[in-house]
């Protein structure tokens, strides 16, 4: 059984290796090879899951050490795997949703001449993400962590002939690297504090390390999570990452990558539990991001960017929940899974729309598509209902729990967090309704593409619709299933623990409030976009709208502070290196031995003078030797 | 007497140099094959060293050879290897065949030259000569012996830099020749000055031993032993002065900020294989010598100088990376990246922890391989377009995907992506530094971000985007080029996943060095064992 865990990672990794090194012979079969290997990995996951269900709650964890990786003195890093309920949940989500996205890509990328490479990268993405969640120590997790960064770099920049794609890829990698610094400092701190960075001893010993150390570790772990999960202040890469092909967006936003930060914080629960200040930082980041993303999502006309804002916001919910400690861990993960279903469904739906509309992404140029692409409409619509938290659908259960948990934090903090989460729910209802109306309802506002070709919207091929249908099922039923007898909570409890908070409000009150804000959000969007005709070019909008369209000025700030400042710095350093450093050292040399004059003469390139200088050097040696004899 | 393996490992490339140089002018292809054969024979001997070396064995040095040489001054021909040296010799012997192969056409004579001119023979003979000298410098346990070859390797290097460069593209030949000789002279002068200062210190060392022990000696083992027995004691100022003399020379060679400015010139003007020879092989002698001579001969002074050296290495890390970001020339960019990496190596050495020094040694190996991969592919790229300027490229990925892919892997190794070898060593250096000097460790991590910046900017500007007119029709990697790059990449992957064979070799040697400096590792606050016991 234990050996299967390694296989889980190895299978897609093998796929990546074969596809990337395989050469042109594999071009035609590559999509199927990639998809089958992803599916095989899912099957292995399912087998492990079945085995796990056969054992008791406390006895479900599997662990295995494969080999000793970096043993230097007391520093012992192993390649070892650990599969408990938390990892298992991720494994099923990653391989399940991942396989569906592979399948979808067969149709979506059918006409791309570099699809062999695309599927290789997709497999690499899965392998890295799987390694991240089954590693049994932080250093191996780090390998998966950066592997995910690499895979996203390759996929976001997949159409690298477009400069915008290449730039977006680079940006994603760099911003993630800033987060990675956080993770590496966290590992170093663990090593100096505990003498190890394996999950077991670190998490068990955490309560003896002292709050100061734990807070420090918690804060740098949060920095790492901010990078991968696109939380404020490291959120800027996510919107640009839409430059990648749409299945990539689905993969990044639903099954992999952005969920990594939530995993990291939940996994390191013992550290955060001992560091209340770090937890406050986590919930603050989550709350800020959930509003930030939601506001950005309202202003975007690009369907993928609106969904990206939404992802940022939903991950904000999860980070918020994870920051609440044992009250929230299980709900963070539950929302993560249900979100995985509906966000993947929404992105694949968006891709399907773009597929039918000449790759147009501006929702102001859509409209009335529901009768042209019925399957897309229905599946996308179910995803929409799920994400806004329509009663009975997946998002309803998971988001509601997070809002409850936020109130249960207690005190003023609880009211602020709960209120923010409710406000976020209202905005979510607003922007998602906007997306829905602009795309599928109202007038046709279709425009011919750059080549003058008017769009001929049509339903997508079977390989694309099947995954959308499966995901729609998940969007509808997963939440209900998970909440049946608190099944999900009980499943995770042995790993994450669980505590009930002291909520100032009852669950019914929370649900009622959620329903009210949901209705308000939908109604507002309906009033604005449903009743009045939508202009094809966006109106100028007020200051907030304009700022939100520019992602609340995040790039402008980065540009002024980092990019421009950095350019000045490097440029002046290059100049200084040429003049001052070189000059001073050369000058010193000159004053020592009058070398600079000779240097100039040497440059005339006569072999004779080279020989003289060599001879000179040798002579110095000999003279020194003779001197020694005298001593 | 047993077979003198260490002498043979240095003698074979030296013989190869002579043999290659002697090949008649018309048979230059034969000269290339001959050079390749000799470099492979050296590799074989280095492999035998690795096998014969026993990491478990007692004593600092193995496979030792010792003969009287200049008896009057106590200079002995003393060779021996520890885990650090044996690994670095293997690196050298491994890289040279690739350097030879990569430079196969770099020294083909231009049509206009007369037939008596034999640049090809000279080029390959010089490369082998450098190899021989580097190997013996790694093996020497006699300070004077080491010094001679440390200096002597400047001569073939000088001719390699000054005599062979990239085929001129748009620049006139005369201008490149001027640039080249400027670079070569700068290389020579910097290193000669360093060497002269070291010479003074070497003489000083002799004087001290002669004074205190009665007979002067240059033998590392004897000096270390005499110090341990209390027969030899350095006065504080003497030890510091001697240390500085040695360290200065090694810091020029390594190179450490602010003595680094010769490196970008030299690596920029030399052909790519020679640039690899400089940064991946010759410069390693500098950092190696810090470990072997500075720390072991002058432990007290090493500790005394540590704060300043840590600051200098931090500056090197950040300064080198920032300058790499600002470069417009591919090879100079890689040179500045190397300066940043040498900063990491020196940082690891002077962090005085097992992880720091073990990591630094591993870093020397991994940096050699990763820079070789990146620089050699860059060289293949430059030979196609005949320009070193980043701005002259764009969209290469579209026309030469394999070249672009290998370049990316080389770049990812340079930015220490986990899974590739340099990550292991960089992380060890960082952890090792952090455990003794947390602030220094944290500042050094900024280098990680900057490395991603310069590598990805380089890749983006050269490989992605619309295909530039001048790049159109550029051929992808040829078989010979693939033979050079593929094994390097395989090695980067292998050592990233399974570095244990190397760390096993290095570990005992590092422990020995640490014991000389009498520093133990800092201990964690909460011991794992306690945690387990508490359960």
Task: Give SS3 for A29.
Answer: coil
Judge: B196–A620 Cβ closer than 8 Å, yes or no: yes
Q: Which residues contact A200 (CB under 8 A, 6 or more apart)?
A: A136
Give A-chain residues touching B528 at CB under 8 angstroms: 194-196, 201, 205
Which sign does the torsion angle of CA B193, B199, B204, B205 carry? positive
* Interval A435-457 mean pLDDT: 83
Nearest CA in chain A to B156: A614
Q: How far apart are CA A478 and CA A337, in angstroms?
A: 8
The minimal CB distance from A72 to the residues B446, B507, B528 is found for B507
pLDDT tens-digit series, residues B138-196: 999 999 999 999 999 999 999 999 888 877 666 677 777 888 888 888 888 889 888 88
Asked which of A324-333, A515-524, B54-63 is least confident by mean pLDDT, the reply is B54-63
Kindly indicate whether the ipTM for this predicted assembly is greater than 0.95, answering yes or no.
no
pLDDT at A364 (0 to 100):
84
Report the 3 state secondary structure along B159-208.
Answer: HHHHHCECCCCCCCHHHHHHHHHHHHHHHHHHHHHHHHHHHHHHHHHHHH
| pLDDT tens digits for range A224-251 | 999 999 898 888 888 888 888 988 988 8
Average pLDDT over residues A78-87: 91
* Nearest CB to A174; choose among B185, B260, B456: B456
Pairing of the two strands A75-83 and B62-70: unpaired
Supply A145's token pair.
């962590």
Q: Are B359 and A72 inside 8 Å of each other by CB?
A: yes
- Using the beta-carbon criterion (under 8 Å), do A71 and B456 form an inter-chain contact? no
Stretch 2-21 of chain A: residues touching chain B, C-beta under 8 Å: 20
Q: A570 and chain B: CB distance < 8 Å anywhere?
A: yes
Residue A630 pLDDT more than 50? no
Share of residues in chain A with pLDDT > 90 (%): 41
8 Å CB contact of B354 and A194: no
Distance of CA A549 to the CA centre of its chain: 21
230-249 of B, contacting A, C-beta below 8 A:
none
pLDDT of residue A604: 47
Other beta carbons within 10 angstroms of residue B112's beta carbon come to 6
Predicted local distance difference test score (pLDDT) of residue A502: 79
pLDDT of residue B47: 94
Note the pLDDT of residue B215: 83
Interface of B with A in 331-390 (CB under 8 A): 353-355, 358-359
Tell whether B417 is within 8 A of chain A (Cβ): yes
Q: What is the pLDDT of residues A293-317, one digit of tens each?
A: 999 888 888 899 999 999 999 999 9
Three-state DSSP at A304 gives helix
CB of B71 within 8 Å of a chain A CB? The answer is no
- Give φ, ψ of A579 to 5 degrees: -95, -65
Residue A627, min C-alpha distance to chain B (Å): 10
Give the per-residue pLDDT at A137: 93
> What CA–CA distance (Å, rounded) separates B41 from A206?
54
**What value, to the nearest 5°, has the Cα angle with vertex A190 and ends A187 and A191?**
85
Which of B119, B528, B530, B535 to substitute to test the interface with A, most A CBs within 10 Å? B528
Pairwise CA distance, residues B23 & B372, whole Å: 28
Q: How far is CA B34 from CA A307, B20, B100, B120, in A?
A: 63, 6, 10, 12
Q: Which residues of chain B have a CB within 8 Å of the CB of A629? A: 72-73
Distance of CA B91 to the CA centre of its chain: 9
Largest CA distance in chain B: 82
Looking at the complex, does the CB of residue A164 fall below 8 Å from at least one CB of chain B? no
Among B122, B268, B409, B525, the residue to mutate for chain A (most A Cβ within 10 A): B525
Residues of chain A in contact with residue B423, where contact means CB-CB under 8 angstroms, are: 143
B41/chain A closest Cα distance in angstroms: 30
Q: Is A587 an interface residue toward B (CB < 8 Å)?
A: no
On chain B, the residues whose CB falls within 8 A of the CB of A185 are 434, 441-442, 445
Can you tell me the distance from the alpha carbon of B444 to that of A259, in angstroms, rounded to the nearest whole number? Answer: 28
- A–B CB contacts, 8 A cutoff, strictly below: 225
Which structure tokens are listed for B175?
Answer: 């201008």
How far is the CA of A497 from the CAs of A221, A590, B323, in angstroms?
A: 20, 71, 50
pLDDT for the residue B166: 77
Which pLDDT value is given to residue A631? Answer: 42
**Would you say B213 and B231 are in contact if contact means Cβ atoms under 8 Å apart?**
yes
Tell me what the pLDDT averaged over chain A comes to. Answer: 85
Cα A177 vs. chain centroid, distance in angstroms?
12
Spell out, as residue ranges, where chain B has pLDDT lower than 50: 114, 530-535
Q: Would you state the pLDDT for residue A618?
A: 57
Q: Quick check: A629 contacting B, CB < 8 Å?
A: yes
Task: Please tell me if residue B87 touches chain A, with a CB cutoff of 8 Å.
Answer: no
From chain A, pick out residues whose CB is under 8 angstroms from the CB of B268.
none
Predicted confidence at residue A580, as pLDDT, reads: 74
Does A185 reach chain B within 8 Å, measured CB to CB?
yes
Q: Nearest CA of chain A to the CA of B45: how many Å?
A: 27
pLDDT surpassing 80 at residue A21: yes
Q: Which long-range contacts (CB under 8 A, 24 or more apart) does B500-503 make?
A: B500/A67, B500/A68, B500/A69, B500/A70, B500/A71, B502/B87, B502/B362, B502/B365, B503/A70, B503/A71, B503/A72, B503/B358, B503/B362
Model confidence at A627: pLDDT above 70: no
Q: What tokens appear for B45 in the block?
A: 């001997």
What's the rounded mean pLDDT across residues A359-371? 84
- For chain B, say whether A166 makes contact (Cβ under 8 Å): yes
Question: To which H or E segment does residue A507 belong?
Answer: helix A507-525
pLDDT at A613: 55
**Partner-chain contact B525 A209, CB within 8 Å:** yes
Contact call for residues A464 and A355 (beta carbons, < 8 A): yes
Could you say which of B193, B430, B500 has the minimum Cβ distance to residue A184? B430
A605 in B contact zone (CB under 8 Å): yes
Torsion-angle region of residue B174: left (phi > 0), alpha (psi -120 to 50) or beta?
alpha
Residue A581, chain B, CB below 8 Å: the answer is yes
Contact list, B159 vs chain A (CB under 8 Å): 610
Position B88 scores a pLDDT of 95
Chain B nearest-CA distance from A23, in A, is: 10
How high is the pLDDT of residue A591? Answer: 55
> Based on the number of CB atoms within 10 Å of its own CB, is A502 exposed (0-12), middle (13-18) or buried (19 or more)?
exposed
Nearest CA in chain B to A622: B148
Instruction: For residue B286, give how far its alpha carbon lies from the nearest alpha carbon of chain A (Å).
Output: 19
Report yes or no: A619 at the B interface, CB cutoff 8 Å.
no
Give B497→chain A minimum CA distance, Å. 7
What's the pLDDT score for residue B531?
46
For residue range A185-234, list pLDDT tens digits in order.
Answer: 999 999 999 989 999 899 988 888 888 899 999 999 999 999 999 898 88
CB-closest option in B73, B498, B526 to A205: B526
Tell whether A577 is within 8 A of chain B (Cβ): yes
Instruction: Check: CB of residue A4 under 8 Å from CB of residue A83.
Output: no
Contact at 8 Å (CB) between B374 and B330?
no
B476 part of contact set with chain A, CB < 8 Å: no
Tell me if A398 sits within 8 A of A334, measured CB to CB. yes
Return the SS3 of B80. Answer: strand
Distance CA A479, CA A80 (A): 33
Q: Would an 8 Å CB–CB cutoff place B197 in contact with chain A?
A: no
What is residue B113's predicted lDDT score, i.e. its pLDDT? 54
B453 to chain A, closest Cα gap in Å: 7
């Amino acid at each position: 059984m234990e050996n299967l865990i390694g296989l889980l990672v190895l299978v897609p990794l093998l796929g990546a290796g074969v596809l990337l090194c395989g050469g042109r012979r594999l071009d035609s079969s590559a999509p199927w090879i990639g998809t089958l290997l992803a599916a095989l990995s899912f099957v292995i996951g399912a087998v492990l899951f079945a085995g796990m269900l056969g054992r008791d709650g406390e006895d479900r964890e599997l662990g295995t050490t494969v080999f000793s990786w970096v043993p230097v003195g007391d520093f012992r890093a192993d390649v070892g795997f650990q599969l408990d309920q938390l990892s298992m949940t991720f494994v099923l989500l990653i391989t399940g949703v991942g396989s569906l996205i592979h399948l979808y890509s067969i149709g979506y990328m059918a006409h791309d001449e570099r699809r062999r490479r695309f599927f290789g990268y997709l497999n690499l993405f899965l392998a890295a993400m799987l390694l991240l969640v089954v590693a049994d120590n932080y250093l191996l997790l780090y390998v998966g962590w950066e592997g995910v960064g690499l895979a996203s770099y390759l996929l976001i920049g997949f159409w690298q002939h477009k400069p915008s794609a290449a730039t977006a890829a680079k940006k994603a990698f760099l911003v993630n690297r800033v987060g990675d610094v956080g993770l590496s400092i966290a590992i170093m701190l663990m090593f100096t504090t505990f003498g190890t960075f394996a999950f077991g001893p670190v998490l068990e010993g955490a309560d003896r390390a002292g709050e100061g150390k734990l807070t420090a570790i918690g804060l740098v772990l949060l920095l790492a999570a901010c990078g991968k999960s696109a939380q404020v202040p490291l959120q800027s890469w996510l919107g640009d990452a839409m430059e990648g092909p749409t299945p990539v967006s689905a993969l990044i936003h639903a099954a992999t990558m952005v969920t990594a930060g939530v995993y990291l914080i939940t996994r390191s629960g013992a550290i955060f539990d001992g560091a209340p200040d770090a937890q406050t930082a986590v919930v603050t980041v989550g709350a800020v991001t959930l509003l930030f993303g939601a506001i950005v999502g309202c202003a975007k006309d690009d369907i993928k960017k609106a969904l990206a804002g939404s992802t940022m916001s939903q991950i904000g919910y999860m980070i918020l929940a994870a920051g609440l400690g044992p009250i929230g861990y299980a709900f963070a993960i539950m929302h993560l899974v249900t979100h995985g279903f509906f966000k993947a469904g929404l992105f694949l739906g968006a891709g399907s729309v773009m597929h039918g509309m000449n790759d147009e992404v501006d929702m102001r140029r859509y409209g009335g598509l529901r009768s042209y692409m019925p399957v897309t409409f229905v599946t996308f619509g179910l995803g929409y209902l799920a994400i806004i938290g329509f009663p009975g659908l997946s998002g309803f259960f998971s988001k509601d729990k997070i809002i409850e948990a936020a109130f249960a934090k207690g005190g003023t903090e609880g009211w602020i967090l709960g209120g923010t989460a409710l406000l976020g729910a209202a905005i979510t209802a607003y922007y998602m309704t906007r997306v829905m109306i602009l795309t599928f309802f109202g007038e046709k506002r279709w425009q011919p593409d750059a080549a003058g070709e008017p769009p001929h919207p049509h339903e997508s091929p079977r390989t694309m619709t099947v995954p959308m249908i499966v995901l729609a099922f998940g969007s509808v039923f997963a939440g209900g299933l998970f909440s049946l007898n608190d099944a999900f909570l009980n499943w995770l409890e042995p790993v994450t623990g669980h505590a009930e908070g002291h909520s100032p409000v009852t669950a019914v009150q929370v649900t009622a409030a959620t329903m009210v804000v949901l209705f308000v959000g939908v109604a507002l969007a309906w009033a604005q976009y449903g009743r009045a005709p939508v202009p094809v070019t966006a109106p100028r909008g007020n200051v907030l709208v304009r700022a939100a369209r520019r992602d609340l000025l995040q790039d402008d700030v980065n540009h002024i502070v980092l990019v421009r400042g950095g350019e000045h710095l490097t440029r002046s350093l290059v100049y200084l290196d040429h003049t001052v450093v070189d000059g001073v050292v050369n000058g010193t040399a000159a004053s020592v031995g009058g070398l600079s004059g000779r240097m100039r003469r040497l440059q005339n390139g006569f072999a004779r003078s080279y020989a003289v200088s060599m001879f000179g050097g040798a002579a110095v040696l000999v003279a020194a030797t003779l001197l020694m004899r005298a001593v | 007497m047993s077979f003198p393996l260490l002498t043979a490992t240095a003698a074979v490339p030296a013989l190869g140099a002579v043999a290659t140089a002697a090949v008649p002018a018309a048979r230059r292809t034969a000269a290339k094959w001959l050079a390749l054969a000799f470099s492979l024979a050296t590799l074989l001997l280095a492999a035998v060293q690795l096998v014969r070396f026993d990491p478990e064995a007692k004593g600092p040095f193995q496979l030792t050879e010792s003969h009287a040489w200049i008896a009057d001054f106590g200079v002995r021909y003393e060779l021996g290897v520890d885990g650090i040296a044996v690994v670095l010799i293997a690196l050298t012997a491994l890289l040279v065949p690739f350097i030879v192969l990569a430079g196969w056409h770099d020294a083909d004579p231009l049509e206009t030259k007369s037939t008596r001119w034999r640049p090809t023979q000279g080029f390959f003979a010089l490369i082998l000569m450098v190899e021989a000298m580097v190997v013996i410098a790694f093996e020497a346990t006699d300070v004077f012996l080491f010094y001679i070859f440390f200096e002597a390797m400047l001569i073939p290097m000088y001719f390699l830099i000054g005599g062979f460069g990239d085929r001129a593209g748009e620049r006139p030949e005369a201008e490149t020749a001027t640039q080249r000789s400027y670079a070569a002279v700068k290389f020579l002068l910097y290193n000669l000055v360093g060497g002269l200062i070291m010479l003074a210190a070497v003489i000083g060392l002799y004087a001290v031993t002669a004074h205190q022990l009665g007979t002067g000696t240059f033998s590392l083992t004897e000096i270390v032993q005499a110090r341990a027995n209390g027969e030899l004691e350095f006065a504080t100022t003497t030890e510091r002065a001697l240390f500085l003399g040695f360290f200065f020379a090694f810091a020029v060679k390594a190179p450490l900020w602010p003595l680094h400015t010769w490196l970008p010139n030299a690596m920029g003007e030399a052909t790519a294989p020679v640039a690899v020879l400089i940064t991946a092989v010759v410069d390693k002698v500098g950092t190696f010598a810090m470990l072997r001579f500075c720390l072991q001969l002058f432990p007290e002074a090493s500790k005394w100088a540590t704060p300043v050296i840590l600051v200098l290495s931090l500056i090197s890390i950040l300064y080198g990376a920032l300058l790499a970001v600002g470069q417009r020339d591919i090879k100079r960019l890689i040179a500045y990246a190397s300066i940043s990496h040498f900063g990491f190596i020196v940082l690891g050495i002077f962090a005085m922890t097992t992880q720091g020094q073990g990591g630094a040694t591993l870093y020397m190996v991994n940096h050699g391989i990763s820079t070789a991969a990146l620089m050699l592919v860059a060289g293949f790229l430059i030979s196609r377009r005949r320009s070193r300027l980043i701005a002259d490229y764009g969209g290469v990925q579209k026309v030469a995907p394999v070249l672009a892919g290998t370049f990316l892997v080389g770049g990812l190794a340079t930015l220490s992506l986990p899974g590739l070898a340099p990550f292991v060593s960089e992380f060890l250096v960082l952890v090792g530094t952090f455990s003794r000097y947390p602030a220094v460790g944290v500042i050094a991590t900024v280098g990680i971000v900057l490395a991603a910046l310069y590598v990805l900017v380089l890749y983006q500007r050269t490989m992605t985007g619309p295909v530039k007119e001048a790049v159109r029709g550029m051929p992808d990697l040829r078989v010979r080029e693939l033979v050079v790059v593929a094994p390097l990449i395989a090695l980067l992957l292998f050592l990233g996943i399974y570095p244990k064979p190397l760390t096993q070799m290095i570990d005992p040697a590092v422990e020995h060095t640490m014991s000389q400096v009498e520093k133990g590792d800092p201990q964690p606050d909460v011991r794992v064992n306690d945690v387990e016991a508490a359960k």
